[in-house]
Structures are given as C-alpha cells and as structure tokens.
C-alpha cells in the first residue's frame, strides 16, 4: 500500500482499505460509493468552506430526525434517490402496475372497512368514488386481494399531521376485494400539499428556487397470495404540480382522470351526492417468481 496520498490514487487507496470486509456486498457498496464520491469531489473541487457547509448540512439533517420526522428520507426523496431505488426494486414485468414511493405518512395501521364505505370522516371536500379490480398479470381476477389506502384531506393534510384537527384514521381504509377482484370505496378528491419545509431540506428547496409541493394523490399498498406486494399511488389528472412533484414520484401510467358523474341513480347507488367524481384504477400484480 502506498503511503503517499495523491488526488489520482486516493480513491484506490480508500477502496483498498476495505479489502478485508467480510461481507462481499458491503465491500461492493462501499467501493462503488468511494469511487463515485471521489469523482464528485474531483469534478467540483469544493473549497474548504464548501466542504464545511456540506458537513454542517448533513449534521443538521441527522439532528432534525426524531420518532415522527425522517429528514434524511426527505432528502433522499427530493434528490430523486428514493424513487430511483423504488423503481429499480420493482422493475415492471408482464404489464404489472407500476410502483411509486411509500412516503412518510403510512404511520398507523389503516382501519378495516367494507367495500363501498367511505374513508372520509369529515365530509368537507368534493365527493368521489374510487373503483377498480385487482388482477394477476394474465388477467385472472384476484379475489380477496387486500388494499391498504391512505390519502391527505382536501386541505392537503394527513390525519397524523393534524392530531385533534382530524379524526384519527380519517383518509385511511383497509379493503378486501370481492369474488371478482373488484373494489370500490368513497372518499374526497385529495389535494396537492407541501412536504415539511421547516428543516434543512426546506432550506435546500428554498435556496434552489424549488417549490415543496406534491400533486394530489391516493396511496395504495396491494397484496394478494402468490403475488408481489405493490406500493403505489394514483395521481389526480390535472392536479397542480403534476409536472413537478417535489419527490419525482409521478409515473404517467399512474395518472388517473377523476371524472364528474352527474347521474342521480348512480349517486344514490353509492350513497353519494350528485354530481360526484369517479376514478377507475385496475391494479395488476406480478406473480412471485417460482423457485
């Protein structure tokens, strides 16, 4: 091993230092990290003051975290890293529905509800019916598939962000698809909302002229026996910020029309006022790889 540190040999020297790592995957990850991190430093040639700023930013990001706040996930989100990891881990196959980020608000177990129930316990927003079927890649319905659903209110807040301001479990429901794999539930059309901006990530967005908003969406985790679990959203077509999601989670296939339905018969059938909005979303799950 050389004792002489030079810009050209530095990355190799650091990678060499990890040569005895017992876990080969850890060694692979660290070697690649060092290679890319050193390439970044050599390319940008940060001043010592810039290096100190970076150290300060990372330190503040760690110190902002607590039981209810994960600022490093937020940083990963606004740099597109969370979506990249999610996408790599869920490469679509056989036409399955695309995944997107889990997000930080799946904090509590959703309450079990019957098909057709509403997850809207407040009744202030535009009423809406969400319906669809859960299918396997070959089109076979998946009866008994489970759908965990959560969303922000029409004011842009999740229940957990407004303790006292919203009933607990508002905007959440756990549904079981029927014998045809069909599901339907009532809710309000969700609103766009900002990610938390009172930490270092907010400072970063502000310094770079980026807005903190996410377009309106509804979260889903869908599971069925013999199939890969799917974490995804549907996005409200035409929502503000649909072109510039602060966390880069929009995929075109996940954008859905929330269509006005002005039909008193339909409204009565679903116990909704007329007119209401309707979104249709068929969910295709990928079978588990067989051994």
- Could you give the CA distance from residue 193 to residue 79 in angstroms, rounded to a whole number? 18
Q: How far is the CB of 59 from its own copies (least distance, A)?
A: 5
CA-based nearest residue to 284, from 236, 237, 239, 220:
220
- Taking the least distance from each CB to its own copies, the nearer of 115 and 204 is 204
- Taking the least distance from each CB to its own copies, the nearer of 90 and 166 is 90
With left for phi above 0 and alpha for psi between -120 and 50, is residue 22 left, alpha or beta?
A: alpha
Q: How far is the CB of 198 from its own copies (least distance, A)?
A: 16
- Taking the least distance from each CB to its own copies, the nearer of 86 and 178 is 86
CA-based nearest residue to 100, from 123, 79, 75, 80:
80
Residues 235 and 217 sit within 8 Å (Cβ to Cβ) = yes
- Taking the least distance from each CB to its own copies, the nearer of 166 and 231 is 231
- Taking the least distance from each CB to its own copies, the nearer of 106 and 251 is 251
Look-up of token digits 């060092």 = 34
Provide DSSP, 104-166.
TT--SPPPB--TT-BS-SS--S-EEEEEEEEEETTS-B-TT-EEEEEE--TTS--GGGSBTTB
Q: How far is the CB of 208 from its own copies (least distance, A)?
A: 4
Q: How far is the CB of 158 from its own copies (least distance, A)?
A: 20
Residues 242 and 263 sit within 8 Å (Cβ to Cβ) = no
Residues 214 and 201 sit within 8 Å (Cβ to Cβ) = no
Residues 190 and 152 sit within 8 Å (Cβ to Cβ) = yes
- Taking the least distance from each CB to its own copies, the nearer of 36 and 168 is 36
Q: How far is the CB of 241 from its own copies (least distance, A)?
A: 10
- Taking the least distance from each CB to its own copies, the nearer of 40 and 180 is 40
Geometric angle at alpha carbon 191, from 189 and 197, rounded to 5°: 160
Residues 283 and 133 sit within 8 Å (Cβ to Cβ) = yes
């Amino acid at each position: 091993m050389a004792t002489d540190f030079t810009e050209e040999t530095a990355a190799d020297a650091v990678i060499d230092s990890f040569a005895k790592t017992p876990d080969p995957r850890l060694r692979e990850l660290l070697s690649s990290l060092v290679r890319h991190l050193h390439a970044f430093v050599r390319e940008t040639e940060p001043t010592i003051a810039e290096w100190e700023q970076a150290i300060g930013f990372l330190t503040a990001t760690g110190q902002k975290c607590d039981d209810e706040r994960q600022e490093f996930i937020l940083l990963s989100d606004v740099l597109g890293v969370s979506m990249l990891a999610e996408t790599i881990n869920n490469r679509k196959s056989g036409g399955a529905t695309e995944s997107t980020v889990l997000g930080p608000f799946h904090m509590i177990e959703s309450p079990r509800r019957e098909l057709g129930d509403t997850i809207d316990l407040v009744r202030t927003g535009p009423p809406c019916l969400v319906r669809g079927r859960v299918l396997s890649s070959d089109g076979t319905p998946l009866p008994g598939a489970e759908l965990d659903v959560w969303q922000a209110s029409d004011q842009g807040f999740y229940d957990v962000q407004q303790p006292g301001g919203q009933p607990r479990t508002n905007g959440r429901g756990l549904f079981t698809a029927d014998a045809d794999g069909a599901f339907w539930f009532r809710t309000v059309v969700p609103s766009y909302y900002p990610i938390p901006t009172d930490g270092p990530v907010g400072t970063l967005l502000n310094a770079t002229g980026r807005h903190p908003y996410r377009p309106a969406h509804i979260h889903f985790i869908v599971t069925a026996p013999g199939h890969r679990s799917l974490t995804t959203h549907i996005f409200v077509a035409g929502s503000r910020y649909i072109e510039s999601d602060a966390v880069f989670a929009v995929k075109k296939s996940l954008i859905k029309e929330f269509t006005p339905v002005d039909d008193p018969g339909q409204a009565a059938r679903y116990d909704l006022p007329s007119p209401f909005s309707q979104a249709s979303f068929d969910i295709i799950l990928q079978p588990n790889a067989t051994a």
